[in-house]
A and B are shown apart, each in its own frame.
Chain A
């Protein structure tokens, strides 16, 4: 493996007795879009702020191309950053905001002008150069902040929940912009968010944080299709959890008994469970099929509620064991009439289910 571009090594941050970040280690290759995903207080922002230099880690190191950043003050790290809050300089015009990092670097006037024009073109705000931040919408302000952060060609761009103050439609629009800008500039991006859809949409890899530790790191597909823990399965995408009892495992396929007594065989598992151990089975909503007849790996359910979302339907069903599950029948499948309240069975492929310790 080639040496990592950015290396976060055993970074730990404590505030008094509280450990905000527990020995987080990540290697980031050049050009990657890596997202720190996690609930608030999981240590993702603290880790980002350690890279920016606004927080000194209690121990550990941050290396950029093998050189430690920790002894370098924030303003000399040459890192770009977009903040959660609007941080444009209120007394400067859009163009002057973008020019600011170049001016403090004493770049010649001609270069500053050219670079500002390039950056405003990159974020498609050429016509706003003379406006002041107060006259811009939130989305425009964050795009200018992005232009400003990229104006000095930083090797790394840090983004701390830059879209959390925007409404959903605008968020999606700017996500597309960020993807395009990442493609066009090839800058290495570390992105913090608590929104799993945003993380899946944007990232090459996602590091899922939980209580100051990385629970799992991998591509969106890895985390969605191969969750390492119940927490990951619950955080990424929608998931149903059913209580069960483990009976036996052979060749990575387990047999379990669900709460209603039905036996399911062939459930994929990577952990070893003892006989009779309580487990939790996770099945994605789209892995369920409604079916009227008896099938193997099928559960008798009652339909509690159905809702229509245009491209899909959402069905809430209740098992005989009392678990409520969320089913997303794809609209192309010729399935049973999901409006019939009872006598339904749901079928799922046991190979698409996961077992976690209860």
Chain B
């Protein structure tokens, strides 16, 4: 290979240095937030004059934070389930279907990912206001499902494209009805894709803030909205603690995903 790592010589040092710089650039803000959440300064001074857990105690003692976290989890879970189910049907028709405009449909289903979120947020907010869904859980879930759909469709179509349809034909000739063959053979075979779809669409909703700000009401707030609101009201280290927990949970999900993928693909 042209760029064989073993043959780079002194360039290897430069490469490692560059990679470290990029990693630091990506990670430093997160590290700062986490450090500040343990700092004793009320004013988020850095370096922290001392260390404390009191911001976490405050966070966990405040029912509005707990509420926001539970709301986030509930909406993300529902959005993820809906996105995976819709994504499954959509992927089957995108991969297996032989109709005109298949590529156009695929593009259309992926637009929520490339469309400026704020444009989408304003549009759906205006629409939901008119039909009375603004500020409701249903509205929240629908909006987040649409945003999460591309994250479900991409891994599922990829898995389905990598799955040889002859395997399904083999199940059918073995005596399974087409539906049985899909449920018992095709779905388990693409389970890694389905699992990734579930995780990514959960995360797409879990850390989404723009649409959530529009959809939120005083009684219905997701965690990112609550963080945003607290930041504007008073810049307390509790926000840093909440952010740290948000990052922590995301990290956990990614690690679990990686482990499960490794286990499933064996």
A-to-B contact residues, CB < 8 Å? 52-54, 73-81, 83-91, 100-101, 104-105, 134, 145, 148-149, 152
Contacts and interface: CB of A to CB of B under 8 A. Distances in A.
Interface stretch (B80-88, B169-177, B251-259): B169-177
B132 interface: no
B1 to A, nearest CB: 27
A87 B170 contact: yes
Contact of B180 (A52, A81, A86, A104): A104
Contact of B164 (A52, A87, A101, A105): A87
A73 B181 CA distance: 14
A148 B174 contact: yes
B170 A104 contact: no
Interface stretch (B43-51, B185-193, B217-225): B185-193
Contact of A101 (B166, B174, B177): B174
Interface in B213-263: none
| Range, interface on chain B | 20 to 34
A90 B189 CA distance: 6
A75 B177 contact: yes
Contact of B167 (A52, A73, A79, A87): A87
Given A75-B178, A87-B164, A87-B167, A81 B173 contact: yes
Given A52-B173, A73-B177, A100-B174, 6 more contacts: A74-B169, A80-B173, A83-B169, A88-B167, A100-B176, A104-B175
Residue of B174, B178, B191 with highest tally of chain A CB at under 10 A: B174
A83 B170 contact: yes
B96 to A, nearest CB: 14
Nearest to A152: B175
Given A83-B166, A87-B164, A89-B167, A75 B173 contact: yes
Instruction: Tell me whether chain B's interface is mostly helix, strand or loop, or mixed.
Output: helix
Contact of B166 (A76, A85, A100, A105): A85
B187 to A, nearest CB: 10
A104 B176 contact: yes
Contacts of A101: 174-175
Nearest to B167: A87
A249 to B, nearest CB: 51
B170, B171, B177, B188 — which one has the most chain A CB atoms within 10 A of its CB?
B170
Contact of A90 (B167, B173, B174, B175): B167
Nearest to A53: B173
Interface string B43-82: 0000000000000000000000000000000000000000
A106 to B, nearest CB: 10
Contacts of A105: 175
A338 B142 CA distance: 85
